[in-house]
Structure 1
Amino acid sequence: MTRTVIERLGHLGDGVGPGPVFAPRTLPGEVVEGELDGSRISVPRIVTPSDRRIAPACRHYRSCGGCALQHADGGFVAAWKQNIVERALAAQGIAATFRPMAISPPRSRRRATFSGRRTKKGALVGFHAPGSDTITPVLDCNLVTPQLSAALPMLTALTMVGAARKGELALTVTETRTGLDVAVTGGKTLNQTQTAALVTSMAGAGVARLSWDGEIVAQQAEPLVNFAGFDVPMPPGAFLQATVEGEAALRSAMRDCIGASTSVIDLFAGCGTFALPLCESKPVHAVEADGTMLDALDQGWRRAGGLHMLSTERRDLFRNPLLPDELDRFDAIVIDPPRAGAQAQMAQIAKSEVPVIAAISCNPVTFAVDAKMLIQAGYRLDWVQVVDQFRWSPHVELVARLIKDHIAR
């Protein structure tokens, strides 16, 4: 039996004691004990609790690995998430001014990936238990929207039909304006009878579309997502911000970044989360590597009608970043890269004379590296806003405004 005092939380939300010793779901200042497996106490007993500890809101919390931080009060979690960004920036020698954090409410995740596995008596659908491949059913999840929770019986029926005996399905469910978009991967090859059974399983469950390992099995309605009043047809598996509230916060901060800019280039534009609403007031050039997402954006723009010009470009910005002379045609850049960051593209932005950048990131570490490159080239980090749309998880997103003072308007 090992006893330790938790000194801080690591980047995955685990408590860290001297050694280091890691203990999940603990808080700084707590005395904990348990059996040590390598450097980890997998099932810590809280000897002396922190005054920031609260009772988890969800009855599944102990057995489900979907959330890591329901045992801490909201003020602690918010401060810890902002500190993650502060420490990432400090590691690159950067200080920042922070705007107030935006936090999505409970039961607001409109997109989630559930795991499904057949059993001898039926099937299980839910999230994995902490550090385990055991699936925990989550019939009244505090994280996802009520519509996603209500889909669990239908997902269980799909699993019974389409999961291999020893395999596991990944069931990605997205709530759209016209119904649920269900994308399943890891299933067995379907025959005609099984396909018909899947269609029967989704009847009455509000499913707009079902795709199976990339192939559309059934579509009752076109899945439409709404970006600030503009409907866009969603391709199967396309990226979408996790919550409506988080998306709105990111978009609002982005607008504050670019201000009165008159021409914008949107890099890693996706289906148009930022580009399409911006077309209300200014022309936008959207760049994205995925052609299906660009097509969806173009369709959304054409359906809306009456917007400013939208031009699109399919381009791999990792292998073929835009060059300074291409960027300098615009007076603002919106860039929302994946978790790996956008080092190649940022290197070219650093050489440009674009006066203002709205940088959106889901990885503070790669953002800090990219920001340092821009700052060394003459940009200034004006402010940062943390957006927490992955409530109770260690995941952090942010929007940052970077400007060149001598040319920014």
Structure 2
Amino acid sequence: MTQQYTIARLGHQGDGIADGPIFAPRTLPGEVVTGDVDGQQLTDIRIDTPSDDRVKPLCRHYKACGGCQLQHASDAFVGNWKVDVVRAALSAQGLDAEMRPIHTSLPNSRRRATIAVRRTKKGTLAGFHGRASGVITEIPDCQLLVPELLAAIPVAEALAVIGGSRKGVLSVTLTLSEVGLDVSVQGGKPLDGPLEASLAQAAEQQGLARLAWDGEVLAMRNPPYQQFGAAKVAPPPGAFLQATKDGEAALLTAVQEVVAGSKKIVDLFAGCGTFSMPLAADAEVHAVEGDKAMTHALDQGWRMAQGLKRVTTEARDLFRRPLMPDELRKIDAVVLDPPRAGAEAQVTELAEAQVPVIAYVSCNPVTFARDAKVLVSAGYRLNWVQVVDQFRWSSHTELAASFTLSHISG
């Protein structure tokens, strides 16, 4: 049934929401729209009265591709909306803070992407999944990825021809390293001798720095290192990496400001050393991460670097075994960069330990605000929040925040 609605606000996933609630993707607050109601979803949407913030999408794939949710909105609108999402999450916990201007990465700056590839009768189909569907949309003119990744999509297609199943979808993660393309494939055929040989030959022909197949490294011409401060670190296949160099730099700058002057730092959920290595230029760092392969890569990178202070590593599940107050004695600052679930157990121990300074990096404003409430209730001051938009045109929001004990100036 076709009905008309006025969009009241955007939800956390970037969809417009009208009274009902009725969810209308790719609409903006204040717009009057018409469409067919399917449950709580509005489909076949027509914009009757557009918002002043509506713009023409930059990418010709936008309508079919699910990689972006907000390309129809002006940069100013998206930036303000993301800051407001963080502000609202804090307000829900009874908190407020100085919100610094958002830092947004440029188009064509994403250095990592996971491409879906399906074998077809005529060859292959590679790209991103459509919005809420299994349909793959080709993306030759994608406005998100760095040119080197766009140029590498044929690599994903070639690997699917060799080791993909006609019945399944190959998931090919392309990462731009300092020495070339790092490729990690999931969902392919089980490895055997002939397949391994064919894949290794393809990696050589394509000039890949490294090729991993379901976690197993099949070929490595050069360790695919990332530059973290003075250190070169080769992450394990598929390891976490900040989406853009620019976004990583913005988060690092914020973290460095928070912990400036600290001599002993604990880096929790340290990954492969995104923050640990640059901070080790001026401080001793103890890096804790649940994945042993990541801590090994971090340690190797530190040992090969020059001019850094001591960095120690520990592989530890911080959800089940958070660092306790007695382990945090004589620590000047903590850097905390948990996954989307936040760090509830660890934050409880940090609140008791009363570490003087905490730099919290988050990819989920809701769990960040929950954890911030615990710290503020324990006597910390939330000095400021820096929102960073690495995932341009998406609903995804990242941030860095400064916490100090109330008797210490922020």
Range of TM-score over shorter length: over 0.9
Question: Tell me, what secondary structure is at the counterpart of 1:22?
Answer: strand
For 1:79, the aligned partner's letter is N
Q: Deviations over 1:149-168 (max 9, x none)?
A: 00011111111221111111
The equivalent of 1:252 in structure 2 is 253
Q: Which digits, 9 at most, give the CA deviation of each residue in 1:319-352, with x for residues without a partner?
A: 1111112112201110100100010000000101
Aligned partners of 1:24 and 1:43 also within 8 Å = no
Map residues 100-111 of structure 1 onto 2, 5 A cutoff. Answer: 100-111=101-112
TM-score (norm. length: structure 2): 0.97
Match of 1:214 in 2: 215
- State the partner residue of 1:371: 372
> Alignment RMSD, CA only?
1.3
Of 214-223 and 270-279, deviating more is: 214-223
Deviations 1:234-272 (A, max 9, x none): 211111100000000000000111121121111111110
> CA shift at 1:42, angstroms?
3.0
Using the alignment, how far apart are the partners of 1:188 and 1:204 within structure 2?
20
Q: Is the 8 A contact 2:230 2:306 kept in 1?
A: no
For residue 386 of structure 2, give the secondary structure of its aligned residue in structure 1.
Answer: strand
Superposed CA deviations along residues 354-379 of structure 1, whole A, max 9, x for unmatched, are 11100000000000000000111111
**1:299 aligned residue:** 300
Q: CA deviation at 1:196?
A: 3.2
User: Which sits farther off after the overlay, 156-165 or 89-98?
Assistant: 156-165
Structure 1 distance, partners of 2:81, 2:409, is 33
Match of 2:91 in 1: 90
Aligned to 1:398: 399
| Distance (Å, rounded) in 1 between the aligned partners of 2:232 and 2:240 | 15
> Following the alignment from structure 1 to structure 2, what is the Cα–Cα distance between the partners of residues 403 and 308?
24
Q: CA offsets, 1:172-193, max 9 Å, x none? A: 1110001111111111113333
Partner of 1:58: 59
More off after superposition, 34-43 vs 340-349: 34-43
Structure 1 residue runs of 5 or longer lacking an equivalent are none
1:194 to 2:195 alignment: yes
Instruction: Name the aligned partner's letter for residue 146 of structure 2.
Output: T
Describe how 1:4-153 pairs up with structure 2 within 5 A: 4-153=5-154
- Residue 44 of structure 2 aligns to a residue whose secondary structure is coil
Instruction: Say if 1:355 and 1:408, in contact at 8 Å, map to a contact too.
Output: no
Gaps of at least 5 residues in structure 2 are none
User: Which residue does 2:181 correspond to in 1?
Assistant: 180
Q: Distance in 2 between matches of 1:83 and 1:271?
A: 31
Q: For this pair of structures, how many residues does the alignment match?
A: 409
Aligned residue number for residue 311 of structure 2 = 310
Can you list the C-alpha shifts for 1:198-229, whole angstroms capped at 9, x where unaligned? Answer: 33444453411111111112111111101134
SS at match of 2:294: helix
* Structure-2 separation of matches of 1:330 and 1:226: 26
- What is the SS of the residue equivalent to 1:127? strand
Do 1:328 and 1:353's aligned partners in 2 also have CA atoms closer than 8 Å?
A: no
Structure 1: distance between partners of 2:204 and 2:332 = 50
Provide the C-alpha distance between the structure 1 equivalents of 2:238 and 2:339, rounded to a whole number of angstroms: 15
- Cα distance in structure 1, aligned partners of 2:364 and 2:57: 26
Q: 1:89-137 deviations in whole A, cap 9, x for unaligned?
A: 0010001111121111000110111111111111111001112100001
Q: Deviations over 1:3-41 (max 9, x none)?
A: 111111110000101111111111111111111110101
Helix, strand or coil for the counterpart of 1:221? coil
Distance 1:204 1:161 in 2: 13
CA separation in 1, counterparts of 2:332 and 2:178?
34
Shift of 1:74: 0.2
CA distance in 1, matches of 2:145, 2:197: 29
Tell me the distance in 1 between the aligned counterparts of 2:51 and 2:62.
18
Matched position secondary structure for 1:35: strand
The worse-fitting range, judged by mean Cα deviation, of 129-138 and 182-191 is: 182-191
State the AA in 2 paired with 1:113.
Answer: T
Report the 3-state secondary structure (helix = DSSP H, G, I; strand = E; otherwise coil) of the residue aligned with 1:100: strand
Give the whole-Å Cα distance in 2 for the aligned partners of 1:31 and 1:353: 51
Secondary structure class of the residue paired with 2:266: strand
Which of 299-308 and 198-207 deviates more?
A: 198-207
Secondary structure of 2:28 counterpart: coil
Where do 1:313-392 residues align within 5 Å?
A: 313-392=314-393
CA distance in 1, matches of 2:246, 2:72: 23
- Confirm or deny: 8 A CA contact 2:203 2:210 kept in the other structure: no
